[in-house]
Amino acid sequence: MLETTTVGSLPKPEWLAEPEKLWPTWRLRGEELARAKERAVVEWLKHQEEAGLDILTNGEQVRIHFVHGFLEHIEGIDWEKKTPMGIRDNRYTVDVPTVTGPLSRPYSVHLDEVRFTRAQTTHKLKFTLPGPMTICDTIADVHYGSRPEMAMRFAEILNDEARELVDAGVDLIQFDEPAFNVFMDDVRAWGIAALHRAIEGLTCTTAVHICYGYGIDENLRWKESLGSEWRQYEKIFPALNASSIDQISLECADSRVPMSLMGLLKDKGLMVGAIAVTGDRVETPEQVAATIRAAMKYVDPERLYPCSNCGMAPIPYAVALGKIRSLASGAAIVRKSLGS
């Protein structure tokens, strides 16, 4: 009950990549870089175990970015043909690679890192993959000419990848879909269908992460424009409750999301964001416990999975370390009060 986890990404150590960057540059090359990535994975697994988290991730230490770290291994994408693109409905602009031909996955992208990670811990292991809709909002296209069609092809590729990762020992596959909070009509029209294709036949627990973004300036400005209540989840939760996905995330800590919206997810596990990913403030365990208790007014504790609001890649390493410790300690406070 109240199993704790992080959304996925954790800060890369300074000796591995530029700190506090969403798109950092690796500091090493070749075999030296490969060994350094493994060292970073081991360190974060140890930190999570010592903090007391229940479901671990490798912190996405092997990827430069949560989407492009997967896409750089997919054929049909021209990385030299960069196209300026307004990400998340023009919230910020990035020069992104372009789909110029049929998409295919010539080999497993993450299998080796999952095998390595699985060998380092006996804890439950979660692995994150970018969701089909979010991929389509993070890459340009001159081949398919249709986001739904391209999303379905990415979903097929993701499904092939996920099946191999589950066979290698992953207990939970999470698809990251921050675009779900932006293109709500598309979520209902084709986003959930693409997600269903991505999870087809998986024998592990499945989850979708939907958030208001990393703690970067562009996202902070966007949040301020949303008013006194953030009700985007309200438009998609009923459809997600009817979906085949097992767990769904939502922001709670330092958020204007009404917790009552959890009531729309009566049949799902909820990854409740009990620690924020903006600023350098580390929540106390008591603050984390208060957020969990507030969520329990709408959801039975058996369906709650306390986690972070979003990935923590761009925040200081020491801050992220403090946050996961408070997350685990806060959940322990609530479990103790419930007699478990």
The pLDDT of 131-159, averaged and rounded, is 96
Give me the pLDDT at residue 78, please: 97
Upper half-sphere CA count for residue 157 (Cβ side, 13 Å): 26
CA 190 to chain centre: 20
Q: Report the pLDDT value the prediction gives residue 254, as an integer from 0 to 100.
A: 86
Q: What is the DSSP letter of 305?
A: -
pLDDT digits (tens, 9 = 90+) for 231-284: 888 999 999 999 999 999 999 998 888 999 999 999 999 999 999 998 899 999
What are the structural domains, with CATH classification, of the chain? 30-337 (3.20.20.210)
CA distances from 266 to 151, 206, 260, 272 (A): 28, 17, 12, 14
Residue whose entry in the numeric block shows the structure tokens 């070749």: 30
Residue 216 — very low, low, confident or very high, per pLDDT cuts 50/70/90?
Answer: low
Helix (H) or strand (E) holding 193: helix 192-199
Query: Region 171-188: what's the mean pLDDT?
Result: 94
What average pLDDT does the segment 148-164 reach? 98
Q: Tens of pLDDT along 270-303?
A: 999 999 998 899 999 999 999 999 999 999 999 9
Say what the pTM is.
Answer: 0.94
9-29 pLDDT, tens digit per residue, is 999 999 999 998 878 999 999
Give yes or no for a contact between 125 and 103, defined as CB atoms under 8 angstroms apart. Answer: no
The pair of structure tokens assigned to 195 is 């997600």
Which of the pair, 66 or 124, is modelled with greater confidence?
Answer: 124
pLDDT tens, residue by residue, 84-107: 987 777 677 889 999 999 999 999
Question: Helices (H), strands (E): how many in the chain?
Answer: 12, 10
Q: Let me know: does 118 contact 168? Beta carbons within 8 Å.
A: yes
> What average pLDDT is seen over the chain?
93
**pLDDT > 90: percent of the chain:** 80
Model confidence at 319, pLDDT cuts 50, 70, 90, reads very high
Out of 179-183, 270-274, 328-332, least confident range: 179-183
